[in-house]
Amino acid sequence: LLKDLHWRHVATIPFENLDVILGRPIDLDPAAIHDKLVSRRRGGYCFEQNNLFRAVLAELGFAVEALSARVWWGRTDGSLPPRTHMALRVKNGDENYLSDVGFGGMTPPSPLVWEMGLAQPTSHETYRLMPLNDSRVPDEIALQAEISGAWETLYSFHPQAVDPAEFALPNWYVSTHPSSFFTQQMIAARPHSAGRHVLQERKATARALDRSEVVQQLEGAEDLGGMLGTRFGLNLPAADLGRLWARLAAS
C-alpha cells in the first residue's frame, strides 16, 4: 500500500514553485495545503508535498515522522548547506522506509528501505542510503542516486525526527530570500511511467528512463500554458501565465 500511495502521489501532484515566482506566500497550514494541492489541483514543493503525504499516511494508520535535510544536489562548493528540505520516515509493518514525494526532478518514485549501503533500483533511478561521512555533521545519512554510473548525493539528514513546526523558518527562507534557488528559477517536475518531465525557466525537458532527453525552449505565454497543462496538469489563469512569462522574457 505504501509503495502504491507514494507513486500515485508523485505521478499525480507535480512539484512546482510557481507561487514563489508569483510572489505569493507558501502557507503550511494543513487546510491551506489541502486546498492548494487537492482542491485546486496545483502542485508544490517539499514542505507542501511531504506535509500532505504525512497527513494522508497518518490518517491511514502509518507511523510517520518528519526529517530535516540539507540539499547537496547541484551545489558547486564544499560549504555545508542549511537544512532546507523535508523528507519522511515511515514504518510499514516491521520495516522503516525513507519516503519523499517532493524532491523535484529527482524525487524517488517509491519509498526506500531504511538500510545503509543497499542499492535499490526503482522504476526510474537507483537509490541508496549511506553515512554522509562529513565530520561537520558526523551523524547524518545521505540519500544518493546512481547517475551515469556514478553515485551522487542528493541530500543528507539527521535521523532524529523533528516537529513539523520546525519547517516554518526554512519554508520562509526558501520561498522569499533572494539567494534561494526557488526565488530565482521557475521549476516544475513530474515523473511518469516512461520517464520524467522537467521544466526549468524556458527549458522543457522530456527525460526518458535511460536519461536521454528531448529539450524544448518555450516561446511565449501560450507555449508556457500549454506545457504546464499537458505535461504537469496545471491550468493557471491567463493573468498568472502573463506574469510568469513577463518575468521569463525579462531574464
C-alpha cell at 200: 526549468
Q: How far apart are CA 37 and CA 47, in angstroms?
A: 12
Q: Which of 9, 19, 100, 124 is catalytic?
A: 100
Tell me whether residue 34 is one of the annotated catalytic residues.
no
104: left (phi over 0), alpha (psi -120 to 50) or beta: left
Residue ranges in the chain assigned as alpha helix (H): 2-12, 18-21, 30-34, 46-59, 168-176, 181-184, 221-232, 238-250
Q: Which of 6, 46, 124, 240 is catalytic?
A: 46
The three-point CA angle 9-17-220 to 5° equals 110
Tell me whether residue 85 is one of the annotated catalytic residues.
yes
Cell 545519512 found at: 141
Tell me whether residue 192 is one of the annotated catalytic residues.
no
Q: Which of 6, 85, 124, 197 is catalytic?
A: 85
Contact status, residue 160 vs residue 66, Cβ threshold 8 Å: no
Contact status, residue 100 vs residue 88, Cβ threshold 8 Å: yes
Task: Fill in the amino acid letter for 46.
Answer: C
Q: How far apart are CA 49 and CA 239, in angstroms?
A: 25
Q: How far apart are CA 131 and CA 119, in angstroms?
A: 14
DSSP E strands in the chain: the ranges are: 15-16, 63-71, 83-92, 95-99, 112-113, 120-121, 126-131, 141-147, 150-157, 187-192, 195-200, 203-208, 213-217
Positions annotated as catalytic residues are 46, 85, 100
